[in-house]
Homo-oligomer: A and B are copies of this chain.
Amino acid sequence: MIKVGIAGVTGYTGIELVKLISNHPKTKLCSVSSNSYKGKALTEVFPSMRGFETLICEDLDGPPLSGKLDVIFLALPHKISMQHVPGLLGNHIKVIDLSADFRFSDASAYESAYQEHTAKHLLKKSVYGLSEIYRDKIKAAKLIGNPGCYPTSILLPLIPLLKENLIQPSGIISDSKSGVSGAGRSLSLSSHFCEVNESFGPYKIGNHRHTPEIDEILSIQSGQKISITFVPHLLPITRGMLSTIYVQAKEHTTESRIREVYAAYYEKEPFIRILQKNAFPAISHVKGTNACDIGLHFCEETHQIILVSAIDNLLKGAAGQAVQNMNIMFGLKEDLGLNSVQVPL
């Protein structure tokens, strides 16, 4: 059994990880930490999480975890993660970091969007954990920068089309919509029930921190500088994310060619499903799963392609992909612990 730790266990991503690791046939949850609920049992903090009456939230700055863990998931705020990673790696614990701290290979891109990076030397070792695209590197990695939820929903449909030269690299637009759990469990007027309920709107137009993350990966993958237009919106639902992406096809591109390329990249992927013509994703089709559904509309006349992708922001957009990466790192079947059947409600 793989010995697993989870840091930042009392956030929404943290408990999602507890669920996945507990239901996983090859892992054992050995240690959890929480800054806000130190000393409390997890079931005390979340009465719905039954069976954890004796799993006590520890202090991450407590006694060293060396020897106790094979891998640790860090569901911590950015900046906090980078403080712990060097020590953990030094103790021979593999790290899957769900913050933004190790997603960038370019420290200056990170620093312009976030703050000073205090563990820059590790950026070269860290692997971007977009499982389907970076699988080979993930296998050998000791440190994973797990992708953001918005980037996951945008990169998966775009990368194959860009790499195979089917679409214009400029003018890409992603109109994205996320459930409230994406903003975490900390208190804010923008997560107050009465402010969110029965409303909807965009936020951070032109300056969301996920934009440089998306741009960096698209640029690396396509071999040219790409800069997309990204507009996030807040949906009055708890979980789920959907991106409607507008791109321009190249002259020679046809719908059947696009479908061929998607099939080549994703046909054997357990978590990616390319929908048939005229079928489009909905959040209820992926909620509770690690799946990414992708739908496609190609306009013959204008050569415009509309891509629609849907994921569960807490699963394929966070904890689910993190466990998928753990499976890859430890040589397990990739969908282990992630393939249970879900209903749409």
Binding site for B on A (CB under 8 A): 12, 15-16, 18-19, 22-23, 46-51, 173, 175, 177, 180-181, 185, 187-189, 191-203, 205-206, 227, 229, 231, 233, 235-240, 242, 244, 246, 273, 275, 279-287, 289, 291, 293, 295, 297, 299, 302, 304, 306, 308, 310, 314, 340-345
Contact = CB atoms under 8 A, between A and B. Distances in A.
A295 to B, nearest CB: 8
A198 B199 CA distance: 13
A244 to B, nearest CB: 5
15 contacts: A16-B343, A19-B341, A47-B279, A175-B244, A177-B177, A180-B197, A191-B193, A191-B194, A194-B345, A198-B237, A198-B238, A198-B239, A199-B283, A201-B281, A205-B280
Given A48-B343, A49-B344, 17 more contacts: A18-B341, A177-B177, A180-B193, A192-B192, A193-B197, A195-B344, A198-B345, A200-B240, A201-B280, A201-B283, A202-B308, A205-B306, A206-B299, A227-B302, A229-B304, A233-B244, A246-B246
B236 A48 contact: no
Nearest to A174: B175
B206 A341 contact: no
Contacts of A191: 192-194
Given A192-B192, A193-B180, A304-B229, A201 B340 contact: no
B180 A185 contact: no
A139 to B, nearest CB: 26
Contacts of A286: 48
A342 B194 contact: no
B185 A194 contact: yes
Contact of A297 (B205, B275, B304): B205
B280 A202 contact: yes
Contacts of A299: 206, 229
A310 B25 CA distance: 29
Contacts of A275: 47
Nearest to A51: B341
A335 to B, nearest CB: 11
A109 B192 CA distance: 33
Given A50-B273, A193-B193, A198 B240 contact: yes
A200 B196 CA distance: 15
Given A177-B200, A193-B197, A194-B238, A343 B49 contact: yes
B237 A283 contact: no
A193 B281 CA distance: 18
A198 B297 contact: no
A170 to B, nearest CB: 8
